[in-house]
Chain A
Amino acid sequence: MKPVHQTANAVVQTKKPTIWLQMKKNYSAYLFLLPKLILFIAFIAIPVVWAFIISFQEYKIFGSEWAGLDNYIKVFKSDAFYDALGNTFLFTVVTVPFNVISALIIASLIHPLGKLSQSFFRGAFYLPTVTSMVIVAMVWRWMYNYDFGLFNYVLGWFGIEPLNWLGQSSSALWALIIMQCLIPFGVGIILYLASMGSISNTLYEAATIDGANSFQKWYRITLPLLKPSTLYLVLLSTIGSFQVFTQIIMMTGGGPGTATETLVHLIYKTGFRDFEFGFAAAQSVVLFFIILLFSIIQFRLLRYDD
């Protein structure tokens, strides 16, 4: 770039053209981005911006009214919101680490196996995810059934009294948490396996020469190189977890009481049952900032060389 001994004036003057120059230099990058960007702006960015705008309005079919911060004040004043926040937070904080770590462990166990075994286990862990959450929720609701569900059946073997899993406030949310933990994180396992597949063998060979054992290889080579995938999975499952919805609708309706109420279920009711779209938008914006906060923290913690 410009030599340091240039006068301050000149430095200031050259700032502007530099950025344009940079843009011109990288015009191909913009071209590569273009198709995605156009689609993104039209079908995602604009609706999102719209939602932000609606959050400041009282949405009416034939012309919304401006409501300023009223919706936001309502959000912070509603007990239901805090109940949902607490539940959603607990759910996320338990299931995300569990799912990511278990995906890592399972992928690590599968990776060194022979081709056939790998294929088999990959299938075994990913295929269940092809069934939609709606069906999975039905199956689990059946498993938690008081009279003949699998869980109480198994408890019966050990002589333990059956539990009203989904019907008691103390157990309902935990039943959902357990369910989320036991559903294999197929996406995570596949992604980790794919990433492991890209790590060059030469790294491991060099380590073997240096006398490293399997665990050391895993800990010092594989794990750090998987950081980008880990970040992706942690971020995505956090975002997803904060938005947990289908299980609530299919299995508990938020009950008993507000024991399993979650943020997106609340938003859904506000928008689609009460038709208060402005209020729902405000709730979503607040949720957005909460998730954003979490994401920034995770990005910092899981930073890797850029």
Chain B
Amino acid sequence: MTSGIQKVNKLIIYVLLSVFAIVSLLPLYWVFSTSLQLSSYQDEELERQVSYVDSNPPKMYPVGITEYFEHWGKARDAESAGDAEAAAYHRDVMDYIIEDTFSGFTTLFNKNNVGIWFFNSFYIAVVVTIGILLFDSMAGYVLAKKRFPGRNLIFWSIIATMMIPGQVTLVPLFIMVRNFGIMDTHWALIFPDLAMVFGVFLMRQFMHSIPDELIDAAKIDGASEWKTYWKIILPLAKPGLAALGIFTFMNVWNSFLWPIIVLNDADLYTLPVGLKTLQDANLASFKLLMSGAAIASIPMIIVFMMFQRHFVKGLTLGGVKE
């Protein structure tokens, strides 16, 4: 039953959230808008080639859209007026607009290696995400629910290592990787990533809220530890797992400095690294840069869409009397 006041409340909430959402989305929007911006377009007024990528003041949307429709209208008018030449001219411009708008993406995709880099990034991110979801939930579960000697020590050691800046463990880790013989292989990326600890902490926090009674009930029913974990704990932790999955995938997908340091073979490069090798020493083409960022973000967006279904409100914890 929504009363008048409640309706107004709801409206205010929507407005507020929308304002925040716009502020939040602005940089991402800017990335996509710039990647689709016209970068060498003949401007009739100014009588020269123009790049809208660096306009001052800046254009807030891909100009190609309005230009395209403008020329489409002109082409139609020309046709109805019987001026075939003008119509053809406008249609040519329309084609050119399409070409120039997507030029950032086509340039990048034409590079043979981009496909390989994309694949590398993807499978490494998937492998690490699965590994982390499994290992971290296992560790988080026992740290949250079991009492055993050394529990606090292990937990605090794990947290403590997050407080050391990565810059300073780069060299020792590099040496470790070299000594293990996995330098310049994907293992050098996968293993250190699987060791990341923020997920353990996250899972521990999450699993705290799982009622102990459920675990006890399972034990009474004679379930093994593994069965309890697999059949009861995991399904209940789905929202936390979904969150962790998204965070992990994103972290691995975007990781950049470490892969550059340990990889030497260009065929092994991940996407961010590979894209960087395409850039000149001094001034990157802004549009190309943004196109790279856009391409890199698309799988992330897809993964997010997939995982977020699991944030279902009001999970029923059946079988327990409150």
Q: Do A and B have CB atoms closer than 8 angstroms in the complex?
A: yes
Q: Which of A139, A236, A272, A285 contacts B167 (CB 8 A)?
A: A272
A62 at the interface (CB under 8 A from B): no
CB-CB under 8 A from A153, the residues of chain B are 57
Q: Given the complex of chains A and B, what is the CA–CA distance between A19 and B150 in angstroms?
A: 10
A100 at the interface (CB under 8 A from B): no
CB-CB under 8 A from A106, the residues of chain B are 17, 20
Q: Which of B167, B209, B229 contacts A32 (CB 8 A)?
A: B229
Q: Given the complex of chains A and B, what is the CA–CA distance between A47 and B176 in angstroms?
A: 8
Q: Given the complex of chains A and B, what is the CA–CA distance between A32 and B148 in angstroms?
A: 12
Question: Could you say which of B84-92, B97-105, B300-308 contacts chain A?
Answer: B300-308
Q: Given the complex of chains A and B, what is the CA–CA distance between A229 and B243 in angstroms?
A: 12
Of all chain A residues, the one with the shortest Cβ separation from B168 is A284
Number of interface residues of A (CB under 8 A): 103
Question: Could you say which of A8-16, A79-87, A89-97, A128-136 contacts chain B?
Answer: A128-136
CB of B191, distance to nearest CB on chain A (Å): 6
Q: Say whether A51 contacts B27, CB under 8 Å.
A: no
Q: A26-B146, A201-B314 are in contact. Are A127 and B28 (CB under 8 A)?
A: yes
Q: Given the complex of chains A and B, what is the CA–CA distance between A121 and B171 in angstroms?
A: 41
CB of B61, distance to nearest CB on chain A (Å): 14
Q: Say whether A44 contacts B301, CB under 8 Å.
A: no
Q: A110-B17, A191-B243, A264-B165 are in contact. Are A33 and B139 (CB under 8 A)?
A: yes
CB-CB under 8 A from B48, the residues of chain A are none
CB-CB under 8 A from B200, the residues of chain A are 36
Q: Say whether A287 contacts B165, CB under 8 Å.
A: yes
CB-CB under 8 A from B293, the residues of chain A are 131-132, 135
Q: Say whether B208 contacts A228, CB under 8 Å.
A: yes
Q: A26-B146, A128-B24, A136-B27 are in contact. Are A190 and B243 (CB under 8 A)?
A: yes
Interface residue tally on B, bucketed by range: 35 or more
Q: Say whether A232 contacts B205, CB under 8 Å.
A: yes
A67 at the interface (CB under 8 A from B): no
A42 at the interface (CB under 8 A from B): yes
Q: Given the complex of chains A and B, what is the CA–CA distance between A30 and B195 in angstroms?
A: 17
CB-CB under 8 A from A272, the residues of chain B are 167
Of all chain B residues, the one with the shortest Cβ separation from A156 is B57
A22 at the interface (CB under 8 A from B): yes
Q: A23-B148, A43-B195, A267-B167 are in contact. Are A36 and B30 (CB under 8 A)?
A: no
Q: Given the complex of chains A and B, what is the CA–CA distance between A291 and B191 in angstroms?
A: 26
Q: Say whether B311 contacts A197, CB under 8 Å.
A: yes
CB of B276, distance to nearest CB on chain A (Å): 10
CB-CB under 8 A from B173, the residues of chain A are 43, 47
A68 at the interface (CB under 8 A from B): no
Within 8 A of A (CB), among B268-322: 272, 289-290, 293, 296-297, 300-301, 304-305, 308, 311-317, 322
Q: Given the complex of chains A and B, what is the CA–CA distance between A45 and B176 in angstroms?
A: 11
B242 at the interface (CB under 8 A from A): yes
Majority SS of interface residues in chain B?
Answer: helix
Q: Say whether B149 contacts A147, CB under 8 Å.
A: no
Within 8 A of B (CB), among A35-89: 35-37, 39-40, 42-48, 50-51, 54
Within 8 A of B (CB), among A159-188: 182-184, 186-187
CB-CB under 8 A from B169, the residues of chain A are 44, 47-48, 50-51
Q: Say whether B167 contacts A29, CB under 8 Å.
A: no
Convert A276-306 into 0s and 1s, putting 1 for each residue whose CB lies closer than 8 angstroms to a CB of B: 0100110111011001100100000000100
Q: Given the complex of chains A and B, what is the CA–CA distance between A22 and B141 in angstroms?
A: 18
CB-CB under 8 A from B322, the residues of chain A are 200, 202-203, 206
B172 at the interface (CB under 8 A from A): yes
Q: Say whether B138 contacts A32, CB under 8 Å.
A: yes
Q: Say whether A197 contacts B315, CB under 8 Å.
A: yes
Q: Say whether B157 contacts A45, CB under 8 Å.
A: yes
A258 at the interface (CB under 8 A from B): no
Q: Say whether B31 contacts A36, CB under 8 Å.
A: no
Q: Say whether B165 contacts A195, CB under 8 Å.
A: no
Q: Given the complex of chains A and B, what is the CA–CA distance between A19 and B151 in angstroms?
A: 13
Query: A29-B142, A132-B296 are known contacts; what are 5 more A-B pairs with Cβ within 8 Å?
Result: A23-B149, A32-B229, A128-B24, A135-B290, A271-B167
Cross-chain pairs A/B with CB under 8 angstroms, 13 sampled: A23-B149, A32-B225, A36-B200, A40-B158, A125-B24, A130-B253, A131-B297, A139-B31, A194-B242, A195-B209, A198-B315, A200-B317, A277-B168
